[in-house]
Amino acid sequence: METTAVRGRLTWQAATVASVTRETASVVTIELDPPHWPGHRAGQHLDVRLTADDGYTAEREYSIASAPGEPVAITVERLEDGEVSPYLTGELRAGDELELRGPVGGYFVWEPVRAENLVHGSDQQSCSPCHPAVMIIGHVPAVHVPPDHAASRLAAARPA
Ligand SMILES: Cc1cc2nc3c(=O)[nH]c(=O)nc-3n(C[C@H](O)[C@H](O)[C@H](O)COP(=O)(O)OP(=O)(O)OC[C@H]3O[C@@H](n4cnc5c(N)ncnc54)[C@H](O)[C@@H]3O)c2cc1C
């Protein structure tokens, strides 16, 4: 039973892009609608695979940026000289399809009681995996968030 579940998570599937939200000039959040998704935990990631018309493929890993129970989403920063991120941040549109597999990773996941420590120690560069943790603990300790950085999603998660 467990082996079947692992095999399912490591099987590529075509997911529809539900939405693409621009966070900053170089960062987008992509919400995905995979037909088979077993759910995810804060701190897990997924693999994305793009295939060109000539069959060339490129795979990259992305932290899952949505909370457990929410539709699966990733937040991607464009690297100007990158191969995959310029496509994901510049060309991908809602309704497109891309291949993914996951969720991947089970050792560095965070439960509510441990997530608070994670947020205290996180920096601006690693905000994507923090967002699900923020959502499950329900509040955010004081963090410095530049207005043009994707980490503004952390601030948005803080209850009034
Ligand atoms: C566990 C994990 C989670 C991640 N989560 C996220 C996330 O949430 N968001 C996110 O944006 N990214 C994340 N990443 C990074 C992501 O997987 C990609 O590496 C990133 O999007 C860049 O991919 P790219 O194809 O655009 O760039 P690439 O084409 O892979 O290039 C990356 C950089 O390496 C340089 N480079 C490429 N090939 C060479 C070479 N042969 N010699 C020297 N330099 C080279 C390029 O010039 C570029 O600067 C994660 C990575 C891991 C491992």
Query: How far, in Å, from the CA of 82 to the mean position of ligand 1?
Result: 7
Encode pLDDT of 15-52 as tens digits: 999 999 999 999 999 999 999 999 999 999 999 999 99
Structurally, at CATH architecture level, domain 13-104 sits in Beta Barrel (2.40)
Q: Does any ligand 1 atom lie closer than 6 A to the CB of residue 77?
A: yes
Encode pLDDT of 63-95 as tens digits: 999 999 999 999 999 999 999 999 999 999 999
The CA distance from 66 to 135, in Å, is 8
The CA distance from 84 to 136, in Å, is 30
Instruction: With CA atoms as reference, report the closest residue to 111 among 71, 80, 68, 78.
Output: 68
Q: Any idea what DSSP says for residue 72?
A: P
Q: Does any ligand 1 atom lie closer than 6 A to the CB of residue 82?
A: yes
Ligand 1 atom with the smallest distance to the CA of 77 is: 11
Q: Does any ligand 1 atom lie closer than 6 A to the CB of residue 41?
A: no
pTM of the model: 0.79
Structural domain boundaries in the chain: 13-104, 118-157
Pocket test for ligand 1, best of 79, 125, 128 (most atoms within 8 A of CB): 79
pLDDT at residue 9, rounded to an integer: 78
